Amino acid sequence: MARKKPRELYAWIAKNHGESSIALCCAALSVRREGYYAWQKRPCRAERDEALVSALKKVRDKHPAYGVRSMIDALPDTLKPSYGKGYSICREYGLLQKRRRPHGITKVNSKVQPAEDLVKGDFKAEDPNSKWLTDITEMKCKDGKLYLCAVLDCFDASVVGFSMDNNMKALLCTSALNNAMKRFGKTEGLIVHSDKGSQFTSRLFRETLANKGFRQSMGRTGNCFDNARMESFFATLKKELIYRLPLYKMNRAEVRYHIFDWIESYYNRIRRHTSNEQNLPPLVKRRFFQQRIQKAA
């Protein structure tokens, strides 16, 4: 006959014996008396699981694109389960996210010489404003397509600049770059990495980089791995915001507002980012870095 689990023995002791005989019962059943008292103070498993499911649902509502590990990290310490248990509950209650593969929209101009790949798949940076990534994505709205060009800093994954328009000409990209410059200043030798799309090989974009003293870097067009971190940002934007909006009912101006608000109010300042230490939101990490520099000066 299989030996009963300790919690089953604890339940039997609680049901059949008074306080005075607990020590004797624990000794007879080879269980620890301290364990019995600890079991009495713990809520039952059903109650714990119910509270855990409720907490995970709240995290999912607030952070639609979090993975299981990030969801667990966002829970109070008293509710944090193991990864396996958290994953099982997310799967059982439909809290897992379906992945969508992003598709590039830029086209190569074969007549123009592309720049060298200075990044080579290394999307990390030790300092702010030393390595930026940029790319374009599109959204289909009620009154036509809306294009977004964003600039992302490899240091903290913050979106340092972005621009939106109803076309994807080179001016869209230079506008995003200029917005990043106005916000964070000029850094000589900064690397700006993109694919080989015609917008990024255009004379206007290259002259903008040269005038600012930036270095241009290019990966392959149509290969998401050469600009994976930028593609990851666009995938997050679409999972957390775009795919949840009824774009077919919304005009470009409405969608522009939602994108601006999501980037500036949520992504940069509130959303936990797993590539940062302690999963800090992008601009929170940047603020802590600047504070450490000021203290050291």
pLDDT of residue 87: 86
Strand 191-194 to 131-141 pairing: parallel
Give how far the C-alpha of residue 272 lies from the chain's centroid of Cα atoms, to the nearest Å: 6
Query: Which residues, listed in sequence order, are joined to residue 192 by a DSSP beta bridge?
Result: 132, 216
C-alpha distances (whole Å) from 27 to each of 11, 22, 36 are 15, 9, 11
Instruction: Kindly state the helix (H) or strand (E) to which residue 53 belongs, with its residue range.
Output: helix 45-62
Q: For residues 111 and 11, give the distance between their C-alpha atoms in angstroms, rounded to a whole number.
A: 79
- pTM > 0.75: yes or no: no
Instruction: Kindly state the helix (H) or strand (E) to which residue 141 belongs, with its residue range.
Output: strand 131-141
Determine contact, residues 149/208, Cβ cutoff 8 Å: no
Give φ, ψ of 173 to 5 degrees.
-75, -40
Closest CA to 236 of 206, 275, 182: 275
Computed from CA positions of residues 88, 89, 91, 96, in that sequence, does the dihedral angle turn out positive or negative? negative
Half-sphere exposure of 122 (CA within 13 A, CB side): 9
Strand 131-141 to 144-153 pairing: antiparallel
Can you tell me which residue has the tokens 């903290």?
Answer: 156
Q: Could you report the per-residue pLDDT of 141-159, keeping only the tens digit for each? A: 999 999 999 999 999 999 9
pLDDT of residue 67: 81
pLDDT of residue 45: 61
14, burial (CB in 10 Å: exposed 0-12, middle 13-18, buried 19+): middle
- Please list, in sequence order, all residues whose beta carbon lies within 8 angstroms of the beta carbon of residue 100, skipping any fewer than 6 positions away: 235, 238, 239, 243
Closest CA to 115 of 219, 202, 203, 207: 219
pLDDT of residue 1: 40
- For the chain, 297 residues long, the average pLDDT of each consecutive 10-residue run is 54 60 69 68 65 86 80 84 86 74 58 81 91 95 96 96 95 95 82 91 93 88 72 91 92 96 96 90 93 84
Give φ, ψ of 152 to 5 degrees.
-115, 135
